[in-house]
Structure 1
Amino acid sequence: MTAAAHLREGAGDPPAAVRRNLTHARTVLTRAAHHTQGLLAKLPGPAERSVEQREAAAAATDAARTLRAVFMDTHADAVYDELTENRSRCLSLAELAEAAASAFPGLVPTADQLKAERSVVQADKEGLEIDQGIFFSRLLRSPTAGRHLIESLLRPTPRALALLAEFRATGSADLGSVRIERTDGVAHLTMCRDDCLNAEDNRQIDDMETAVDLALLDPEVEVCLLRGGVMTHPRYRGRRVFSAGINLKSLHAGEISLVDFLLRRELGYIHKIVRGIRSQDGDDWRTPVTEKPWVAVVDTFAIGGGAQLLLVFDHVVAASDAYFSLPAAKEGIIPGAAALRLVRAAGTRLSRQVILEGRRIWAAEPEARLLVDEVHETEDLDHAVERSLERFRAPAVVPNRRMLHLAEESVDDFRCYMAEFAHQQSLRLYSADVLDKVGRFSAVR
């Protein structure tokens, strides 16, 4: 019998079997996953499979994912409690995924499996990150596990804690793709990927979260400012650029990960800008988070993820020749939490035009005032920024911004959105249209 025939025949237990007690369900899931993995290993890589082999592989993979989804629908809280020792440990997304791969074999890919996947371009992958999408979507759907996970991800990262003493002493840190400098109570965060117009990849996500943590942890910082640095890119040499969004070269090369980029970005540094950073001591009767006001300055453009960022800032100052766009639908992916926040800021009609049709909004247009607070000529930006920073030093700004965020977007609203985002974004990464774009992009490189 051919490998394709074996795959069609399948050997997994029906979904009802994983609805039983956790011990039995774990065994059933592991056995089914190992069977499917073994049979897939006998086939050529995804790009070289025949039509019959692709259909058989899809059928077997779908069956295995159905089991995983039913397993998590039934046991999400029990799984999370086991991984976090009854919610006494706060794990990062990557740590949680790694722990799940060890404790529940076959539920999510192992580190070695992901390493092998990352060694090939996007079109040649099996799509193992979809299993991570299923896992995290079900955790986030749970009011118990999901709430704890979101709060855990507001903790400072180990990297930031290790750098904090030096940053407090010197007032500066060069993190690679982001620089942070403290001057007169202002934390100046500068995105400095001058070679790629501040396009985000896994590396920049880590650097940004570290910088946000340092700004929030340093008691001398009163207000935070984010701006793009001066570019060396030939087309924009000598000009400041805010952000070109996701790094498409990295996406097409298969180097943008679901966990370390797409989920960590939203649940990590962006959510910390919104909610603040949680203290290590959760028993303090005082407010358990440290928040600060955030101001953004947009030079040239804020594309994709750059435009998404503006939706969480307290104040946005833009150059008169800047523009904003969210071309995620054209790229084939979902623009983070923009659908949640842009509708609130700009209304449904304009949001559909921007997200679904790719409309570009120029700072000089009246509609831009739904996205930015001030528009100035480039030569006047610095003075306008200084004035806004001074206004946000007022002591009552922080508690009032907290109440505004609670009114605009509850933690549970965000949690439910991110649950669906985790699932849908993982599917988009391996959808036929995205893989087709990947193939055409690779062909012309």
Structure 2
Amino acid sequence: MSSGDFTAIQLEISEGVAVLTLNRPDSLNSFTVVMHGEVKTALDRVENDPSVRVLVLTGAGRGFCAGQDLSDRAVKPGANAVDLGHSVETYYNPLVVRLRNLAMPVLCAVNGVAAGAGANIALACDIVLAAKSANFIQPFCNIGLVPDSGGTYALPRMLGLPRAMGLALLGDKLPAEKAADWGLIWAAVEDAELQTTVMAMARKLAVAPTKGLAAIKKAFHASLDNSFTDQLTMERDLQRDLGNSADYKEGVAAFLEKRKPVFKGR
């Protein structure tokens, strides 16, 4: 399935995998209000299509996403200030929450620079692979802002406070290989191998028991704020629900019968 009614993104759906490509390469796929609207529409389609079991997010051209297109909300000297809180609340916060809560694995293929909100949108995905030439940048400090789109939440938890603080205060580039070494992303791969690597991973997940994978996402995210006893209770409740699922029964039967399972997923 191909969706040709977008101008700022592309959406392709095939064999259980939806590929959402940010498609403003001349602007390093920076976000505008139009792009936000199209991404929302695409995610609506993904969620409402029962054939989709994995989402891949990537960018067209030489970059993944440079964050906000500043020309879309330009502030001229002496003009009234733009309400950036409204922009974050209306567009960016719902997007990262939705990616995090989507009931399927969300892979991000960072094919070039991921800066500002673009970097933090990537980090809201479940598994991030990046081309070795890619960089992650938190440039908010250069224009007097704080990392948004979940940046101040994700970075200290992923990297620890010293590294997170250094990235945010200095705005330096973090090369993909170093990001992988630090544990910020899953892996850095050769540029020419990024697309084939992420699609092979997506196809593997597309035939997995995706209801269980969605529960793993839910449990891991909850663990960041739950007490130990609360987390144990959540594990019990999730396991009880999943133990009654068709996928669990199929997985056990396939194991005992020494055959490949066929999961229904979501």
Indicate the TM-score class for this superposition, using the shorter chain for normalisation: 0.7 to 0.9
Q: Which residue of 2 is the match for residue 225 of structure 1?
A: 56
**1:300 corresponds to which letter in structure 2?**
G
- Give me the whole-angstrom Cα distance separating, in 2, the residues matched to 1:306 and 1:332: 17
Q: Which residue of 1 is the match for residue 95 of structure 2?
A: 269
Which secondary structure does the structure 2 equivalent of 1:316 belong to? strand
1:172 shift after superposition: 2.1
RMSD: 2.1
Shift of the 259–327 alpha-carbon distance from structure 1 to 2, 3 Å rule, reads: closer
Which secondary structure does the structure 1 equivalent of 2:152 belong to? helix
- Give me the whole-angstrom Cα distance separating, in 2, the residues matched to 1:212 and 1:356: 33
1:343 shift after superposition: 0.7
Q: 1:208 aligns with which of 9, 14, 39?
A: 39
Shift of the 228–256 alpha-carbon distance from structure 1 to 2, 3 Å rule, reads: farther
Q: Which residue of 1 is the match for residue 232 of structure 2?
A: none
- State the TM-score, normalized to the length of structure 2: 0.75
Q: Which residue of 2 is the match for residue 401 of structure 1?
A: 217
- Give me the whole-angstrom Cα distance separating, in 2, the residues matched to 1:260 and 1:208: 18
Matches within 5 A, 1:130-145: none
- Identity fraction in percent: 26
- State the TM-score, normalized to the length of structure 1: 0.46
- Give me the whole-angstrom Cα distance separating, in 2, the residues matched to 1:173 and 1:406: 37
**1:381 corresponds to which letter in structure 2?**
L
Q: Which residue of 1 is the match for residue 68 of structure 2?
A: 246
**1:404 corresponds to which letter in structure 2?**
F
Matches within 5 A, 1:149-168: none
Bigger strand share: 2
1:324 shift after superposition: 0.5
Which secondary structure does the structure 2 equivalent of 1:321 belong to? coil
Q: Which residue of 2 is the match for residue 100 of structure 1?
A: none
Q: Which residue of 2 is the match for residue 96 of structure 1?
A: none
- Give me the whole-angstrom Cα distance separating, in 1, the residues matched to 2:59 and 2:179: 24
Larger RCO (alpha carbons 8 Å, 6+ apart): 2
Bigger helix share: 1
Matches within 5 A, 1:214-363: 214-230=45-61, 240-253=62-75, 258=84, 261-276=87-102, 291-336=103-148, 337-363=150-176
Extract structure 1 runs of 4+ deviating beyond 3 A: 253-260, 366-369
1:367 shift after superposition: 5.8
Shift of the 256–305 alpha-carbon distance from structure 1 to 2, 3 Å rule, reads: farther
Deviations 1:267-305 (A, max 9, x none): 3222111123xxxxxxxxxxxxxx111000011210111
Which secondary structure does the structure 2 equivalent of 1:364 belong to? helix
Deviations 1:383-427 (A, max 9, x none): 2112221342321211111111211357xxxxxxxxxxxxxxxxx
**1:180 corresponds to which letter in structure 2?**
L
Which secondary structure does the structure 2 equivalent of 1:246 belong to? coil
1:360 shift after superposition: 1.4
- Give me the whole-angstrom Cα distance separating, in 2, the residues matched to 1:369 and 1:317: 14
Which structure has the larger Rg? 1
**1:185 lines up with 2:7 in the alignment:** no
1:349 shift after superposition: 0.5
1:361 shift after superposition: 0.5
Which secondary structure does the structure 1 equivalent of 2:136 belong to? strand
Check conservation: 1:174, 1:180, Cα contact below 8 A: no
Deviations 1:239-275 (A, max 9, x none): x310111112233347965466311233322211112
- Give me the whole-angstrom Cα distance separating, in 2, the residues matched to 1:296 and 1:245: 15
Unaligned runs of 5+ residues in structure 1 are 1-169, 231-239, 277-290, 411-445
**2:153 corresponds to which letter in structure 1?**
L
Shift of the 218–322 alpha-carbon distance from structure 1 to 2, 3 Å rule, reads: same
Deviations 1:15-73 (A, max 9, x none): xxxxxxxxxxxxxxxxxxxxxxxxxxxxxxxxxxxxxxxxxxxxxxxxxxxxxxxxxxx
Which secondary structure does the structure 2 equivalent of 1:313 belong to? coil
1:211 shift after superposition: 1.6
Check conservation: 1:293, 1:398, Cα contact below 8 A: yes
Q: 2:186 aligns with which of 373, 381, 405?
A: 373
- Give me the whole-angstrom Cα distance separating, in 1, the residues matched to 2:135 and 2:167: 12
Deviations 1:177-198 (A, max 9, x none): 1111101111110100123111
Check conservation: 1:205, 1:261, Cα contact below 8 A: no
1:310 shift after superposition: 1.9
Shift of the 260–177 alpha-carbon distance from structure 1 to 2, 3 Å rule, reads: farther
Shift of the 260–205 alpha-carbon distance from structure 1 to 2, 3 Å rule, reads: farther
